[in-house]
Amino acid sequence: MDKKDIDWANLGFGYIKTDKRFVSDFKDGKWDEGRMTGDDTIVLSECAGVLQYAQTIFEGLKAYTTRDGKIVTFRPNLNAERMEDSARRLEMPVFPKERFVRAVLDTIKANEAYVPPYGSGATLYIRPYMFGSNPVIGVKPADEYQFRIFTTPVGPYFKGGVKPLTIKVSDFDRAAPRGTGNIKAGLNYAMSLHPIVVAHNEGFAENMYLDAATRTKVEETGGANFIFVTKDKKIVTPKSDSILPSITKRSLLTVAKDYLGLEVIEREVLFSEIGDFAECGLCGTAAVISPVGKVNDHGREICFDSGMESMGEICGKLRDTLTGIQLGETEAPEGWIYPVD
Ligand SMILES: *Cc1c(COP(=O)(O)O)cnc(C)c1O
């Protein structure tokens, strides 16, 4: 198989149209068998449920070329399970887990020529999603849905090293208690667009959201979970029903325990205590871990010991171990790596 003529090392995190995408339609109470198509467009009713009432959910994962030249993906079963939870919360039909995983593998295979080579730092990003497609004007769930998966090659998240970020405490809330913060839905991102534009205009990379009920506890950013490292090298991560359960975070916690021998604590994290931590990182598929150097709370700066020059020691070890597992350089826990063929 010949790779596409792409300058892998200089790819950004953007959309590039690839050859094939997977599509399956839900109609009359069931999913059809699905198909691979070259058509990257969707024709919809002007009144489709997704357009009127935002009935849409998504997932994100990556495919990697390993050191020995194989194409693999990482824990797609967990994306399938999380998408089931998202679907149930928005009254959408579940796309069966086995079919989800099969379709992810088939879509990667169909776009093999776009999977960046080992050592390029780039990966193939995979975007499964589902939306209500038939006309809905009275407020109710749609009756018809489309499930799709497209892929796009993306660059290394960190070009020229990993620089710590400065983030701000947001004046907006991300998710209400008993709301939809724990599902991966477009609606959670729509509301985050204004706060992120405000943060960027003020020179900050991201928003730290606090819990909406009391605004005393750390939740997450718009698209990544927090991990903190204590001065005695324990891993602390916020526990809350309104944060999105990051697969990267869950994997990093296992890496911390089983590969690095660190103690891992999931608990409520008070905003007032974050200055006591030595390191802070943002976890998600795109970046694995991005180090946070500073949090700005309305002009008051909270600085982590790791500083603004480089990633902290523990975050660096976590990142290197997890990427080593994904790239076939380090032995993976049972069931984490799915070969594409
Ligand atoms: C997707 C997402 C994450 C990261 O989850 P991963 O499974 O690690 O990619 C974190 N927070 C939010 C709000 C998200 O949507």
Query: How many C-beta neighbours within 10 Å does residue 17 have?
Result: 11
Residue 85 CA, ligand 1 centroid: distance in Å: 14
Q: Give CA angle at 11 (9, 15), nearest 5°.
A: 155
- Average pLDDT estimate for 125-135: 98
- Average pLDDT estimate for 127-132: 98
285 close to ligand 1 (CB < 6 Angstrom): yes
At 161 the pLDDT is 65
Residue 118: pLDDT band (50, 70, 90) is: very high
At 85 the pLDDT is 98
- Average pLDDT estimate for 242-247: 98
- Average pLDDT estimate for 191-198: 97
Stated length of the chain: 341
160: pLDDT strictly greater than 70: no
* CATH number belonging to domain 165-326: 3.20.10.10
In sequence order, the 6+-apart residues with CB closer than 8 A to the CB of 252 are 227, 235, 283, 289, 318, 322
Instruction: Tell me the pLDDT tens digit for each residue of 41-52.
Output: 999 999 999 999
126 close to ligand 1 (CB < 6 Angstrom): no
157: pLDDT strictly greater than 80: no
Instruction: Tell me the pLDDT tens digit for each residue of 250-285.
Output: 999 999 999 999 999 999 999 999 999 999 999 999
For the chain, the domains span 8-154, 165-326
Which residue has the CA at smallest separation from atom 13 of ligand 1?
Answer: 223
In sequence order, the 6+-apart residues with CB closer than 8 A to the CB of 251 are 74, 75, 322, 336
At 286 the pLDDT is 86
Q: What is the DSSP letter of 60?
A: -
247 close to ligand 1 (CB < 6 Angstrom): yes
Closest by CA to 13, choosing from 58, 59, 62, is: 62
Query: How many C-beta neighbours within 10 Å does residue 241 have?
Result: 12
Mean pLDDT of the chain: 96
Antiparallel, parallel or unpaired: β 264-267 and 235-238: parallel
At 191 the pLDDT is 96
* CATH number belonging to domain 8-154: 3.30.470.10
Q: What is the DSSP letter of 218?
A: B
Closest by CA to 20, choosing from 8, 4, 9, 6, is: 4
In sequence order, the 6+-apart residues with CB closer than 8 A to the CB of 192 are 174, 207, 222, 223
pTM over 0.75: yes
At 341 the pLDDT is 82
In sequence order, the 6+-apart residues with CB closer than 8 A to the CB of 311 are 162, 164, 281, 289, 291, 319
